[in-house]
Amino acid sequence: MSDGDFSAIAPATITWPNGEPFSSHFNTRYFCRTHGQAEAREVFVEGNALTKRFSELHNNQHFVIGETRFGAGLNFLVTAQAFLQHAADGARLHYVAAEAQPLSQADLAQALKLWPTLEEFTTELITQYPSLTPGFHRQTLYAGRITLTLMFGDTHTMLAQLPARVDAWFLDGFAPANDPLMWQASLFECMAQLSHAGTTIASNASEEYVQQGLAQVGFALSLLPCSTRNREIITGTWIEKAPYKDSSEKERPHLSPQRSQRIAIIGAGLAGVTTAAALTQRGYQVQLFDRAGVASGASGNLAGVVYTTPSAHPTPQNRFYQSSYLYALKKFRAMQFPSNEQDGAITGVLQLAKNERLAEKALAALRSGLWPAELLSEPKINDTCPLKTPENESRTNTHGALVLHQAGYISAPQWCGRLVSHANLTIIGKNISQLSHLNNGSWQLTCDDASTASFDHVILANAAAALNLVSLPDLKLKNIRGQVSYVKKTSDSEKWPYAICHAGYLTPAINGLHCVGATFDIEDSEPKPRDDDDRKNIEQLKEYLPKQWRNLGGDDIEIHSRRVGFRCQSTDFLPLVGSLTDIDKKMSGLWLNIAHGSRGITGTPLCAEILACMINGEPLPIDHDILAALAPVRFTLRQAKRNGK
């Protein structure tokens, strides 16, 4: 896939004849207000026999529905209603839908007002509806029972990029005559690639070439009358037919993996605790090992900034940065964090370009269309904005300054503490000295006190120390020392509204202390704080934010304390997330979640979700290209290419 496949998203152009949503581009309505809900239920829910299939689900099972066009969300809401009525409380629904021209949040809300009987479901959907950025957007709805993944972009592209196995298809969209580009052979091929034996399909498009296209890729079809339409509908089941038969991968069992599996996580920083939370919420019993305790390393700083660096180029790397940022914000809102001043605040972040090159990149991102205005804008100059002060007018002005409106700053230790408060999690204050693969396929952990325990899955979330436990010769990691200075608040600083990122960063006060930092020293292993590093932090603050430097006391700034942490970073700046099986099949059951650098607060919630979905056999919240960009095997593949293999 090319980066152009993830271009800027334009909202659908909607008019409202007779109060119904009408697509100006496709010259047709989204649904009929008199029988649209009944049609959705008859065609898609009953056409796939979902009432029966939902009622047969047991706890810890999940069901996956794929939809070719989300539209105004009516099919989703009708399906959500049926699932919550008929499925066991412990069962889960994954609903994955593509949409090339998504409705704006306002248009979606107006459209769904037409269905008052679904009001209890629409409110949560509208509240969590994502900003219109390209790619995958995951929402967890209805007390965690339903996961909706919206894929904004061309349907063919999104399905080709989807890591999932689908149990039932909603082949929906505007009629083939109105949207011929969607109803192509490549669409049916993508659907077959994502199906398994027993996957069903339903569609209200019964044109002959649609039937032929589906049959050619392995769907055995039937035509049924529809009481809400004057034409027949298609139902069917995917059968294993060449060339789409693909070994045992397509024959995945309908049951999710058993919760009796034993899972260990090594490392209780941000990566470890977010992963533990994602797994315990799925019902797994998890043991988290860290001799120093929760958030004791680089994750233990008083405050960190929740932000990203916007880009105009939708490469897999930049899309990961955007997706992980948006997912982290959604996770904080779902857990109602921050909840008090000690937790931090989501009040926006002012980002200043430290040089002309970065200023140009910032403005290019702003104009790219990849960042809607509710997410990103230029700052307004006022009393709280630090721009255009006499000392820095030539150094820093509005050029290249951005406001990330939904960003903020949080206390990482407080966040970690919130995540580990789950009955399924046991925290063990021991260091792991050895990791051994046993003949039965499990992994044995040996602690410093010589005690041992075996597990089906082991997740290494202990930064660079992971390489002490497993041999990965192609992987090179950088340990970067950082010292942050904690500065006492003053009467002029205590009401600062937001964090500021420049060459360093400055946060509003938590517990009376501002974080000023941080130094960046590669391969410096000194754990003790240094007075000289405090001076560097304060001098950098004076250079970039002279107004804030003065408000903190200028030359008389009072440093209360300081802290040293070590950031683990990969050579391509992306974390390593995924299985080690692709490197060595003997490493089955061994996983990595490391190398988050200085972006751990922002990146780890999405990375934890990725790992939990892999272990639990669920659709992933990212596309194939991002998955490959994060995969630990990428360094082995690059080395093999350099060696000509």
Whether residues 163 and 73 fall in one domain? yes
Whether residues 53 and 90 fall in one domain? yes
Asked whether 209 and 107 are in contact (CB, 8 A), the reply is: no
Total of domains in the chain? 2
DSSP 535-587: HHHHHHHHHH-HHHHHHTTGGG--EEEEEEEEEEEETTS--EEEESTTT-GGG
Which three-class secondary structure state does DSSP give residue 76?
helix
Whether residues 133 and 206 fall in one domain? yes
Whether residues 107 and 194 fall in one domain? yes
- pLDDT score at 389: 38
Whether residues 143 and 274 fall in one domain? no
Extract the tokens encoding 269.
């920083």
360 assigned to some structural domain: no
**Interacting residues of 180 by C-beta distance below 8 A, sequence separation 6+:** none
Residue 340, exposed/middle/buried by CB under 10 A (0-12, 13-18, 19+)?
exposed
Tell me which of 220, 251, 282 is where a domain ends.
Answer: 251
Whether residues 453 and 588 fall in one domain? yes
583 assigned to some structural domain: yes
313 assigned to some structural domain: no
d(CA 509, CA 498): 10
d(CA 101, CA 124): 21
562 assigned to some structural domain: no
> Which uninterrupted H or E stretch holds 206?
none
Query: What strands lie across the sheet with 92-99, from one edge to the other?
Result: 135-141, 146-152, 92-99, 62-67, 166-171, 195-203, 233-238, 219-224
Which three-class secondary structure state does DSSP give residue 516?
strand
Asked whether 372 and 310 are in contact (CB, 8 A), the reply is: no
399 assigned to some structural domain: no
Tell me which of 225, 251, 277 is where a domain ends.
Answer: 251
Go through the chain and tell me how many residues it has.
645
Extract the tokens encoding 313.
């180029």
Neighbours of 244 (CB within 10 A): 18
- The vertex-529 CA angle with 525 and 535, nearest 5°, equals 115
Q: What is the CA radius of gyration of the chain?
A: 26
The closest alpha carbon to 252, from 476, 378, 63, belongs to: 63
d(CA 561, CA 90): 48
Extract the tokens encoding 146.
């339903």
The residue range of the domain holding 443 is 263-296+414-473+576-642
Whether residues 173 and 291 fall in one domain? no
Whether residues 46 and 119 fall in one domain? yes
233 assigned to some structural domain: yes
Whether residues 290 and 233 fall in one domain? no
CATH of the domain at 616: 3.50.50.60
CATH of the domain at 89: 3.40.50.150
554 assigned to some structural domain: no
User: Which single residue is written with the structure tokens 């990203």?
Assistant: 308
Whether residues 98 and 62 fall in one domain? yes
Amino acid, single-letter form, for residue 267:
G
Whether residues 207 and 159 fall in one domain? yes
Q: What is the DSSP letter of 588?
A: T
Instruction: Spell out, as residue ranges, where the chain has pLDDT lower than 50.
Output: 242-258, 383, 386-397
> Which uninterrupted H or E stretch holds 359?
helix 356-367
369 assigned to some structural domain: no
Whether residues 211 and 267 fall in one domain? no
d(CA 640, CA 533): 41
